[in-house]
Amino acid sequence: MDGKLVGPAEVGVEQGRITGVTEGPGRPDTLRLPHGVLTPGLIDVQLNGAFGHDFVAADATAWREVAARLPSTGVTAFCPTFITGDLDTLTAALVRAAEVRAKLAAEPIARDLGVHLEGPFLSPARVGTHPPEYLREPAPELVDRLLLDDAVREALTLVTLAPELPGALEAIRRIVAAGIRVSAGHTDATAAEMSAAADAGATMVTHLFNAQRGLGHREPGVVGAALSDPRLTPGLIADLHHVVGPVCSLVLRVAGERTALVTDAMAAAGMPPGRYRLGDVDVTLVEGDVPRNPDGTIAGSALTLDLAVRNLIGLGNPPARVLTSATRVPADALGRTDLGRIAPGATADLVWWSDDWTILKTWIGGVVAYEAATV
């Protein structure tokens, strides 16, 4: 509550929303959690897929399966993420995503918060695993394809782009004016170019340290801007591969409660080692490693957000700070002040954790969406 762990306390829930929070022992006729911690539901703003399914290609059945299984990882809301691909394919997938989102909205499964479009307006110098043949500069006519089609625009919540590209600042202004958030990512921008992007309305940085200009002592780069500019929310993949443990802890100390934990997970998340798809890319997951494309480049992750929380707490970071980065910070980054907190008026998306930070039970809108067999 208010970014702190408190207790004991009583949380009132009616019609899917939190009605009040009272510190002290609850009434004897209420549901009592005998141990562990109750937190807001986790929110993942960068999820390419999971449980064998990639969102770009997923039909409604596959999409629902992912959303139904995410509460087992504590995730109660997410942004399905599309990486760079053929623009016709992406816009068709966005239309389909809007239809699926509307169809599943009333079910007690993880909330679809709208698509995070990661590309195609990315830097060729920082392409990562994105197919370079589909990269584009954000020319007005291409931005029009995202904003002037009602179905496409309705699907979008967040767009990652490289702010140093020609036309990018005007694209940021247009996208933000349409009610869509912008994140800087896959970018070789300087700190000055990042500041200009924030001036234009960008508010996030996609997967800090990865596929971006690093921190320099004379040129702060993307990383320096993300750590120092209070207007920016850096996304952190805390799988301890994309960013090693000591650096993850450093980010939490420096950027504090501006840091949003993300998974950047792809279809391999929750699955055994094997071959999977990430957009148009074939990806292989080997035991003990991260997913990689055929040339060995890291291609998303197999991380789940509850594991990211355990990783950071296991490194000695304060649990309240870690949990805030997985709940309130990503909610606020999307402008969703009804999510990610235990407070009157907030949606009753809640997670009961064991004393060793495993998921025991998850509620979405006050309805049980997952319960461990050991509860």
- Is residue 118 a known part of a binding site? yes
154 is in an annotated binding site: no
Q: Does 218 appear as a known binding residue?
A: yes
- DSSP character at residue 253: H
- Alpha carbons 304 and 265: distance in angstroms, whole number: 7
Residues with catalytic roles: 264
Nearest CA-CA partner of 56 in 67, 47, 45, 43: 47
Contact 287, 273 (CB under 8 A): yes
14 is in an annotated binding site: no
Judge whether 210 is annotated as a binding position: yes
300 is in an annotated binding site: yes
Q: Which long-range contacts (CB under 8 A, 24 or more apart) does 11-14 make?
A: 11/38, 11/342, 11/348, 11/350, 13/348, 13/366, 14/366
Residue with tokens 């043949």: 133
Structural contact between residues 171 and 146, judged by C-beta atoms closer than 8 angstroms: no
How many of the other CB atoms lie within 10 Å of CB of 62? 18
Q: Is the peptide bond before 273 cis (omega within 30 degrees of 0)?
A: no
To the question of whether residue 186 is assigned a binding role by annotation, the answer is: yes
**Binding annotation for Zn(2+):** 118, 186, 207
Q: Which residue numbers belong to the known binding site for substrate? A: 129, 210-211, 218, 242, 298-300
Cite the annotated binding site by residue number.
118, 129, 186, 207, 210-211, 218, 242, 298-300
